[in-house]
Structures are given as C-alpha cells and as structure tokens.
Amino acid sequence: MSKFYGSIGFSVSTKTAPGVFTPSITERQYKGDVLSNTRRYEAQTNSTNDDLLINNKISILSDSFTDKNIGHIIYVIYENTKWKVTNVEIERPRLILTLGGVYNG
C-alpha cells in the first residue's frame, strides 16, 4: 500500500447575488492511502486512441469540510493528473474514493 498526498476538487456553489448561485471549484489538500492501483485502456469506436481509465481506490481521513460537501467531490489529483471520482464509500472516519477516467471539467 502506498501513501497519497494531493488535492481533491469540490464543486461548491457560491451566492453571487440574491437568488443567484455560481458553481466554483475548491481544492483542498488531503493525506491518505492508495488501496488499489489499476489501469486499463478502453477502446472507443469513434476515436483512434483508447481512453485510459484507472480503478484506483484512495482512502482519506474525513473532516468537517468533506462531511459537509461529500456530494460535491468531483476529482482527485493523482500522479499530476485530475481523475474523476466515480464512487465514494463512507467508512467513518474515512472516505474511500474510486477514480475513473481523466477529468476534463
């Protein structure tokens, strides 16, 4: 098992005017463990290049911010790439994040 230290991106709406909310990305730093580290290529019929997908699972220690914004986690920066979070398992006090394809938001 290897260690993880990196940013997690949250899509958080901020109130910019009365009744108007604008989505913005907030990144926060977390420490944790890489529980699994797998990669695969998925063939695309409309593209000459296959898409790289990972099924990595990263376990982080939850804090009050993640507890409040668990539904807004959208990506994890892992190995200098933003990866989409496809699943969040809640195992208090930890969150286990499953990563998928590259995040292009």
62-69 contacts at long range (C-beta below 8 A, 24 or more positions apart): 62/90, 62/92, 62/93, 62/94, 62/95, 65/10, 65/28, 66/8, 66/95, 69/10, 69/12
pTM: 0.84
For the domain bounded by 2-102, which CATH number is listed? Answer: 2.40.10
Residue-wise pLDDT tens digits, 26-85 = 999 999 999 988 877 666 656 556 577 888 999 999 999 999 999 999 999 999 999 999
Q: Where are the domains of the chain?
A: 2-102
